[in-house]
Amino acid sequence: MSAKLLAVFLPCFLTGCVSLDPHYERPRGAVLADDARHNEQEKAANYRDISWQDYVLNTQLRQVVAMALNSSRDLREAVASVKSAHAQYGEQRADLFPTLSAGISGTRSRALTGEGNQTALTNTYSAEGSVSSFELDLFGKNQSLSRQQYETYLGTLEGARSTRLTVLYSTVDYWLQLAADRSNLAIAKETAESARQSLDVTRKRLQNGVDSMVDVASAETTYQSAQADVASYTTSVAQDKNALDLVVGNSVPDNLLPQGIEAIGHALREVPAGVSSDALNNRPDVLQAEHNLKAANASIGAARANFFPSISLTASGGVGSADLSSLFKNGAGIWSFAPSISLPIFKGGYNVSLLNYTKAQKEYYVAVYEKSVQTAFQEVADALARRGTINEQLTSQRNNVAASQTYYHLADLRYQSGVDTYLNALTAQRTLYTARTSLVSVEQAYYQNLNTFYKVMGGGTAREESKLKL
């Protein structure tokens, strides 16, 4: 009968019969009602299922992204944190099981026999297996602590996935910034060369009495302004390359660098997008916030368990003999069993304060989770708003560049023919310069919008999960 009772209750003793964790429910109401109208789940693609290799279409950029995911120090730090959290979970989980040890000991002593000064030698040998101070988890304290550490580990894992996505986003962003600044540098150099030629013509026309010093001074200002822009964009290109090398973790070869924003083709894939609550709830940062909330919820259970008695068992059993040679043959059975119970009576308010702290921490992580959800919806809504107008803006800006080129060509012909003043040609040249650099900015914004969408929708995280699991 006792064996049957032991078989029934031993699992309870080891795993805990009672859980004092509060019932967990995912917080609701984090998303405003107005956000529901953006839900386009039927049309939106599941970005989590789109790997970055399918999203990044430019061959050079693909190789740069692959370098970053292999060499990024930020990603290495994140993976190391995951390994540390997993090890800490294993360390905490070990408290759910008894510590078993075995040993052999021997004692040889000489003592008085009690008759005169006669002495006798005594030998004692024993072999024992023991359980040292194993706490029965009757109220689920160790289970709660184990759940807390496990949720912390999962949160760290989601944080690593978020870091991986950020590294990918930053790599693409810096690569696009380098492409845009190289285009701006080329435009500035072309404008500076054109302005130099105009300055030479204006000086000759001054010598022939056709133009005035005002025309020469105007041409000089345009040339010097373009030269200043050349110097500025040269610095920007160098800094963009440094930033790209840092996020990648290695020096990116020149053959993988873009020549200009207009030469990268369809660098990123354009897929339907929309706001889906299911998709955003599975973003790595949102999942990380929820796992942290679950960990805080489990810590409340552990704090509650401190108010209840704790029972510890220390036991050993084995054989003993006066002769080592007969220890395992004719040795006598020896054992000890020392249960203990501890009831908290007074700790100066420690248990109450700890429980209040864990409850406050849960409130904190509820707010963090709700804010992460709201931030996710806001980021996607902003990206959707940008996508709704970027193509129209891009078309208009290209038409503006074409019109500005025609304007400058005609104004320069009129000036060269002596029909018009240099002021109109100068104005047309500046208009064309502004239009071309503005087009570069809009083209960069177009690609950045695609890049942002992939990030805020948790792109590729479903397919990349296995690469971060231990």
Identity (one letter) of the amino acid at 64? V
Domains in the chain: boundaries? 15-98+140-309+362-457
CA distances for 253 relative to 97, 239, 245, 461, angstroms: 54, 15, 10, 28
Nearest C-alpha neighbor of 20 from the set 364, 294, 298: 298
pLDDT at position 127 is: 63
pLDDT at position 8 is: 42
pLDDT at position 37 is: 45
**Residue 134: strand pairing partners:** 313
- CA 439, 442, 443: angle at the middle one, nearest 5? 85
- CA 151, 154, 157: angle at the middle one, nearest 5? 155
CA dist 288 and 396 (Å) reads: 42
Q: Give the number of other CB atoms < 10 A from CB of residue 36.
A: 11
Burial class (CB in 10 A: 0-12, 13-18, 19+), 411: buried
C-alpha distance across the termini of the chain, in Å: 44
- Asked if residues 30 and 369 have their Cβ atoms less than 8 Å apart, the reply is yes
Is the domain spanning 15-98+140-309+362-457 CATH 3.30.360.10? The answer is no
CA dist 169 and 285 (Å) reads: 15
pLDDT at position 197 is: 77
Per-residue pLDDT of the chain (470 residues; tens, 9 = 90+): 444 444 444 545 555 567 888 888 888 866 654 554 444 444 556 888 889 999 999 999 999 999 999 999 999 999 999 999 999 999 888 888 887 777 776 676 666 666 656 666 676 766 676 777 777 778 888 899 999 999 999 999 999 999 999 999 999 999 999 999 999 999 999 988 887 877 777 677 667 666 667 767 777 788 888 899 999 999 999 999 999 999 999 999 999 999 999 889 889 998 877 666 777 788 899 999 999 999 999 999 989 888 888 888 787 766 756 565 555 666 566 667 777 788 788 778 888 998 999 999 999 999 999 999 999 888 888 998 998 899 999 999 999 999 999 998 898 888 777 777 777 888 888 899 999 999 999 999 999 999 999 999 888 887 555 455 44
CA dist 227 and 192 (Å) reads: 6
Rounded to 5 degrees, φ, ψ at 108 are: -125, 120
Nearest C-alpha neighbor of 418 from the set 196, 194, 209: 209
Question: 66-69: long-range contacts (C-beta < 8 A, 24 or more apart)?
Answer: 67/248, 67/249, 67/250, 67/252, 68/167, 68/168, 68/171, 68/247, 68/248, 68/249, 69/164, 69/167, 69/168
Both tokens assigned to 32: 């405003």
CA dist 215 and 422 (Å) reads: 6
Q: What angle do helix axes 213-248 and 422-456 make, rounded to 10 degrees? A: 10
Residue 134 has what DSSP assignment? E
Q: What angle do helix axes 350-416 and 422-456 make, rounded to 10 degrees? A: 150
The pTM is what?
0.82
**Which are the contacts of 151, defined by CB distance < 8 A and separation ≥ 6?**
291, 292, 294, 295, 298
**Which are the contacts of 380, defined by CB distance < 8 A and separation ≥ 6?**
38, 273, 275, 280, 453, 456, 457
pLDDT at position 224 is: 84
pLDDT at position 253 is: 95
